[in-house]
């Protein structure tokens, strides 16, 4: 790692330490990949959000989605108004990825079938025809 990258990584560790004093919470929030491997959060309030008394970071596996929210593997029901599917940066055009975890459009079309038949196509690199916006 070059000196500049080491300096940036040290600055980020300090920022995490200052904004998230709780060591266990900070460990859960700290990425396990090197600086520059993925797009970093540039928000100045993101980390501080987790210090609010009504905010809880839950990293337990999801057992199932319920009518009222989410049930985690430990049996806890967690109410939720909205669920956000954050696919992150592991996007791929392999149809099999989306057979295990389907991504469906309003008209019932699905990403796996789209990739299997049409391969990659998008409108101005922003959206897939007939499917939710997938950056």
pLDDT digits (tens, 9 = 90+) for 65-101: 999 999 999 999 999 988 877 655 555 677 887 888 8
Looking at residue 4, the DSSP 8-state letter turns out to be H
Greatest extent of the chain over all pairs of C-alpha atoms, in Å? 52
Look-up of token digits 């669920």: 83
* Model pTM score: 0.52
For the chain, the domain total comes to 3
Are residues 32 and 44 located together in one domain of the fold? yes
pLDDT digits (tens, 9 = 90+) for 37-60: 666 666 778 888 999 998 888 989
Give the domain-ending residue among 81, 96, 121. Answer: 81
Which structural domain range is residue 60 located in? 55-81
């Amino acid at each position: 790692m070059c000196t500049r990258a080491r300096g940036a990584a040290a600055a980020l560790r300090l920022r995490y330490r200052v904004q998230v004093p709780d060591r266990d919470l900070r460990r859960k929030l700290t990425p396990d990949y090197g600086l520059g491997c993925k797009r970093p959060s540039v928000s100045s309030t993101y980390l501080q959000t987790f210090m609010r008394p009504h905010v809880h970071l839950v990293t337990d596996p999801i057992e199932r989605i319920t009518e009222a929210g989410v049930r985690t593997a430990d049996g806890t029901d967690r109410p939720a108004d909205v669920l956000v599917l954050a696919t992150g940066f592991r996007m791929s055009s392999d149809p099999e990825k989306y057979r295990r975890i389907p991504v469906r459009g309003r008209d019932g079309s699905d990403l796996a079938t789209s990739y299997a038949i049409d391969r990659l196509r998008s409108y101005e690199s922003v959206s897939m025809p007939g499917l939710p916006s997938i950056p």
